[in-house]
Amino acid sequence: MVNDATRSPQRYLTPFNVVAGLIVVMGLIITVMRFTLGLGAVTNLSDYYPWGLWIAFDLLVGVALAAGGYVTSAAVYIFGMKRYHAAVRPAILTGFLGYALVVLALHYDVGQPWRLPYPFLVSRGTTSLLFEVAACVALYLTVLFIEYSPAAMEWLGLKRARAIVTRLTIVLTILGVILSTLHQSSLGALFLIAPAKLHPLWYSNYIPIYFFVTSIIAGLSMVIFEGGLSHRYFKDKMDAEHLAAKADVMLGFGKAAAWVLAGYFVVKVIGIAADNNWHYLATGFGAWYLVELLGFVALPAFGYAIGVRDKNLSLIGWTAGWTVLGIVVNRLNISLIAFNWYLPSEDRYFPHWMEIGISLFIVTLGVLAFRFIVTRMPILYTHPDYDAH
Amino acid sequence: MSISRRTFLGWIGAAGVTSTIARKAQAASNKEFKGYPDASAVLHDITRCIGCRKCEAACNAVNELPQPDRPFDDLTVLENKRRTTAEAYTIVNRFQPEGDVQPTFVKIQCNHCLEPACASACFVKAFTKTPEGPVVYNAKVCVGCRYCMVACPFDIPAYEYDSAFDPKVRKCTLCQPRLAEGKLPGCVEACPTEALVFGRRSELLKVARGRIQAYPDRYVDHIYGEHEMGGTSWLYLSGPAFSEVGLREDLGTRAAGEFTAGALGAVPIVVGLWPVLLTGIYAITKRKDRIAAEEQQVAVTDAVTRTQADAQVKLKAALDKADQDKAAAIEREVKKALDAAEKAKEQE
Ligand code: SF4
Ligand code: SF4
Ligand code: SF4
């Protein structure tokens, strides 16, 4: 779709490209340091905080925000909500890139990344929830790749292969939902083993359920949020169907998000009641917990509800962004802020700037890959030679 | 009342020979597990510890760890609370519980849990609880995810963050290599006051109980490690409350594996139920689509038939009309001819 011949060098020197280029250069330098000098040289990880920003943000937040793929494809293919069909491909693409980057980030975080296949090939630690997470993430990345592949095949003109893959749509969608249910919840369940370390307000037997429900919220919000960005920056790539579907998707997904957020709020309160944790609410951590619960759960639930009622698309868009931020806050709370909460401040963790640098680098890679693909492959429009599947 | 360390030398020999092959860590399964009865253990009587750091020095030596910045006889190190690191598998800390004149010293190291959190958490089974007692680590499979460190309730395992190519998790081994040679753990051997006693766990529990009974004023009536987190192989006796000397009392008695059993148990349910449910929903969606399609088909056929019928009627009408027109035309022609004939007749 892009006529490269018309591109002059100046067109590449946009402010976005310059900033992205600088981040990539910085990322590459830190990458070299990480793999030659070790984790200690580029991170603030400690024996008290073996997991830092790369697990909290790149893994936990990354996986949650990549949930749009399974949420959207399930809505359209399994629940038959065909009017959201235009949202499927962008959501699958985001999911695929998201998971690919999560796996990339894990290579930075683990001490011996060349051994990452060991849990499957050498010694299966099946009693570990991390084993389940690893297995599901690996499988789901494969599923997402296959789900995404028709777009690439249309681009490359591989008609026969595409026909085969599109026939698998339903099977892949069901597989995607199963795998996502398992690992989204298991990421939360990772913390079940450390009841003594996680603040009681965040520790709960329901934590796997919380993680699963918030992944749906994250998925819905990301589809809206990212749809808004695509609409702004890649409008020229969208065909009439995609342009027309925007309002439909925002209203439909916004309404769903409002309900799920409201439900999540209720189960959270039930969780506090079940563990009888009310007295903690009066402490400093309690105040912070209330900020999360009221500011990032109740508030967006209202934002979505009002936005949908008034058909106020910009309110829905802003709420989606706020909800995504809320997911970030929640995951950082569980893995860093409320973790080891009782330690004196000198033993607590704050990320090294190079850890932040790598996280930025990885997000930038994702944005660049997304742009590369949507400007070439039929993601935001239906390829004229093919029927939508 | 104290048992000579040497008495135990024989016991270890026996224990070591009869079961040298480590069985799989049942620690991590959901089965009821009450520990290996003959497993070796250490009793740390905090009331006897004088904070000399000889155990730290011995541990450093037997494990060939790097020399620390400040020597082991520098006791000012005790001014700050420390934890185990990749270069120090055991640490002595000083506490000053409120109301006490004398400080209390506590040695920490891996507690060699009966059902270790670290073993349950590791996704490559790098940790194993051996029947002899030690929880051992296999560096050859460790990926370095550090989930074991997140899981350990005693904050024990440490990581070699500064190694780029071969970082390992590091913790006390209960001197497993020395035990296999029939020797005592380095720290136990070095302790000048017998604040550390090595032996079978079952025996040490009796010793500890005996001490509490004999000196009820000296000890809190609790053996730390008997049940904490499912029980540990390192047992503690204390004068002050355990929580005042850095040993957490809020850990409960459930082994770590029990906290995750529910989540793991949910996996087969999700795998079994989801496909059925989702396929069902898909079938309903599809059926709805099909019925809608069928209804549309019927409507179309209907419309077509109706149009066809209409057309038939029209055609028939047209044909009829044509027939009538034809008949009329013939009639007209005949009439014309007759008229002409009549005229001709008249002219004749
Ligand atoms: S104390 Fe920690 S490292 Fe040692 S066995 Fe128990 S869980 Fe594992
Ligand atoms: S860091 Fe090594 S030993 Fe610890 S859980 Fe990960 S793979 Fe297992
Ligand atoms: S048992 Fe051995 S490794 Fe453990 S603290 Fe004592 S000397 Fe160190």
What average pLDDT does chain A have?
Answer: 92
Residue position matching structure tokens 């429009």: A381
B233 lines ligand 3 (CB under 6 A): no
Q: Quote the pLDDT of residue A246.
A: 86
Higher confidence at residue B256 or residue B118? Answer: B118
Q: Do A130 and B151 touch (CB under 8 A)?
A: no
- Chain B 127-146, CB below 8 Å of chain A: which residues? 141-146
Which tens digits make up the pLDDT trace of B67-104? 999 999 999 999 999 999 999 999 999 999 988 888 99
Distance B127 CA to ligand 1 centre (A): 9
Which tens digits make up the pLDDT trace of A225-281? 998 888 888 888 888 888 888 888 999 999 999 999 999 999 999 999 988 889 999
Q: How far is B85 from chain A (nearest CA, A)?
A: 7
B131 Cβ contact list (under 8 Å, min separation 6) = B19, B22, B23, B36, B38, B39
Distances (CA, A) of A87 to A45, A84, A100, A255, A379: 39, 6, 20, 16, 9
C-beta separation of B197 from B45 below 8 A? yes
Report the residue of chain B nearest A130, measured CA to CA. Answer: B123
Q: How far is A374 from chain B (nearest CA, A)?
A: 30
**Can you tell me which atom of ligand 3 is nearest the CA of B173?**
3
Q: Who lines ligand 2 at CB under 6 A?
A: B 121-122, 124, 126-127, 142-148, 169
In angstroms, the CA A262 to CA A256 distance is 10
B59 lines ligand 3 (CB under 6 A): yes
Best of A109, A128, A342 to mutate (most B CBs within 10 Å, chain B):
A128
B84 at the A interface (CB within 8 A)? yes
Q: Quote the pLDDT of residue A322.
A: 97
A285 Cβ contact list (under 8 Å, min separation 6) = A199, A201, A338, A341
C-beta separation of A340 from B151 below 8 A? no
Q: Please tell me the number of the ligand nearest to residue B116's CA.
A: 1
B275 at the A interface (CB within 8 A)? yes
User: Is A345 in a helix, a strand, or coil?
Assistant: helix
Higher confidence at residue B127 or residue B279? Answer: B127
Task: Determine what percent of chain A is predicted with pLDDT higher than 70.
Answer: 97
In angstroms, the CA A15 to CA A22 distance is 11
A61 Cβ contact list (under 8 Å, min separation 6) = A327, A328, A331, A332
In angstroms, the CA B61 to CA B47 distance is 25
B173 lines ligand 3 (CB under 6 A): yes
* pLDDT > 80? residue A8: no
B253 at the A interface (CB within 8 A)? no
Read off φ and ψ for residue B129, nearest 5 degrees: -85, 115
ipTM: 0.92
B155 at the A interface (CB within 8 A)? yes
Q: Transcribe B255-299 into DSSP letters.
A: -HHHHHHHHHHHHHHHHHHHHHHHHHHHHHHHHHHHHHHHHHHHH
Report the residue of chain A nearest B84, measured CA to CA. Answer: A47
Element (H, E) at A107: helix A88-109
Residue position matching structure tokens 């002899």: B132
Pairs of CB atoms within 8 A across A/B? 175
Distance B175 CA to ligand 1 centre (A): 14
pLDDT mean over A294-301: 96
Residue position matching structure tokens 């998790």: B169
* pLDDT > 60? residue B14: no
Which tens digits make up the pLDDT trace of A138-151? 999 999 999 999 99
* Residues in chain B closer than 8 A to A123 (CB atoms): 124-126, 141
Distance A110 CA to ligand 2 centre (A): 9
Distance B66 CA to ligand 2 centre (A): 23
Q: How far is A120 from chain B (nearest CA, A)?
A: 8
Q: Do A195 and B157 touch (CB under 8 A)?
A: no
* pLDDT > 80? residue B346: no
Buried b (16+ CB within 10 A) or exposed e, B207-216: bbeebbeeee
* pLDDT > 60? residue A106: yes
B163 at the A interface (CB within 8 A)? yes
Tell which one of B110, B130, B227, B232 to mutate to probe ligand 1, the residue whose CB is within 8 A of the most ligand atoms.
B110
Query: Dihedral of the CA atoms B65, B70, B76, B77 (nearest 10)?
Result: -40
In angstroms, the CA A368 to CA B280 distance is 39
Q: Do B259 and A193 touch (CB under 8 A)?
A: yes
Read off φ and ψ for residue A260, nearest 5 degrees: -65, -40
Element (H, E) at B237: strand B234-237
Nearest CB to A192 within list B86, B259, B278: B259
Q: Do B122 and A36 touch (CB under 8 A)?
A: no
B41 lines ligand 3 (CB under 6 A): no
In angstroms, the CA A55 to CA A50 distance is 9
Distances (CA, A) of A327 to A22, A322, B131, B149, B302: 28, 9, 44, 25, 54
B243 Cβ contact list (under 8 Å, min separation 6) = B249, B250
* Residues in chain B closer than 8 A to A125 (CB atoms): 122-126
SS3 content of chain B, % helix, strand, coil (to 5): 50, 10, 40
Distance A143 CA to ligand 2 centre (A): 27
Q: Do A129 and B264 touch (CB under 8 A)?
A: yes
Lowest mean pLDDT, pick from A240-249, B135-144, B150-159 = A240-249
Question: pLDDT band at residue A309, thresholds of 50, 70 and 90?
Answer: very high
pLDDT mean over B313-337: 82
Beta strands in chain A (DSSP E): none
Query: In the structure encoding, which two tokens stand for residue B130, read together?
Result: 């051996």
Higher confidence at residue A374 or residue B329? Answer: A374
